[in-house]
Amino acid sequence: MPFQPIEPRRLYRQIADQLRQLIQSGEFAIGSKLPAERDLATKMGVSRPSVREALIALEVEGLIEVRMGSGIVVIGRESVRLLDNAPGPLEIIRARQLIEGELAALAAKSTDPTLVLDLQETLRDMEADIAARILPTRGDRNFHIRIAQASDNSALQAVVTQLFDERNGLMFQKLGGHFEREATWYQAVDEHRAVIAAIERNDADMARAAMSGHLDRSHERFSASLTHLS
């Protein structure tokens, strides 16, 4: 199979470009299956998370369909190029992990008397939305932005807001559709609660670790195999 090695410095878009060319050239017919994530990663010399983001990009473009427990099926050759070369969801989560861990540590040193109360309110909002089978992104967003606000740094607040709002992008929505469930959202609530407990104790090291751990586990949840075949 004519796969070409991808240099490590390249991102998911280069992987998607190569797979798109193979599909459009007829190497993979409509109705056929692509190799599993693991095999694609090995053949192309890249990580499985990078392959996963490339597959999500191709799914958004209408070339493939990821079928849980079945495989990655080619459904078209005409690509609807809806995506630019922006960072993928997994890259964004890693960026947030670096930034928001430090912001949580700063929040633990805050003297703002309303901070913990406001954060606890975001948990109630998330739990209410989960119970109502509504995507609890409102409370999730307010939690992360409220912690950024405790830094009293408008530039950092803007960065956190921008990175969080990437969740509204097509790739993040598609990825979330595959992996976000009631159970994963309750896990996120518990992780938020641990961050709040550390902030309430004014323990900067614990807050940093709790936030970093939360976003690391978010990355893991989005990094599960797309098809459970690889």
Q: Identify the pLDDT of residue 139.
A: 98
Nearest CA among 226, 175, 179, 227 for reference residue 70 = 227
How far from each other are the two terminal CA atoms of the chain, in whole angstroms?
Answer: 18
Render pLDDT for 73-116 as a digit per residue (tens, 0 to 9).
999 988 776 656 678 888 899 999 999 999 999 999 999 999 99
- CATH 1.20.120.530 positions along the chain are 89-222
Task: Measure CA 196 to chain center.
Answer: 22
Q: What is the mean pLDDT of residues 140-145?
A: 98
- CATH 1.10.10.10 positions along the chain are 12-74
* 225 neighbors 125 (Cβ within 8 angstroms): no
Q: What is the mean pLDDT of residues 192-218?
A: 98
Mean pLDDT of the chain, nearest integer:
90
Nearest CA among 202, 193, 104 for reference residue 156 = 104
Q: What is the mean pLDDT of residues 190-213?
A: 98
Q: Identify the pLDDT of residue 158.
A: 97
Q: What is the mean pLDDT of residues 130-146?
A: 97
* CATH of segment(s) 12-74: 1.10.10.10
The confidence band for 176, taking pLDDT boundaries of 50, 70 and 90, is confident
Global pTM?
Answer: 0.82
11 has a pLDDT exceeding 60:
yes
Render pLDDT for 33-61 as a digit per residue (tens, 0 to 9).
999 888 999 999 998 888 988 999 999 99
CATH of 89-222, one of 3.40.50.2000, 3.40.605.10, 1.10.10.60, 1.20.120.530: 1.20.120.530
Q: How many CB atoms lie within 10 A of CB 7?
A: 8
Top-confidence residue, 17 or 117:
117
Q: Identify the pLDDT of residue 178.
A: 82
Strand order in the sheet with 33-34: 33-34, 71-74, 64-67
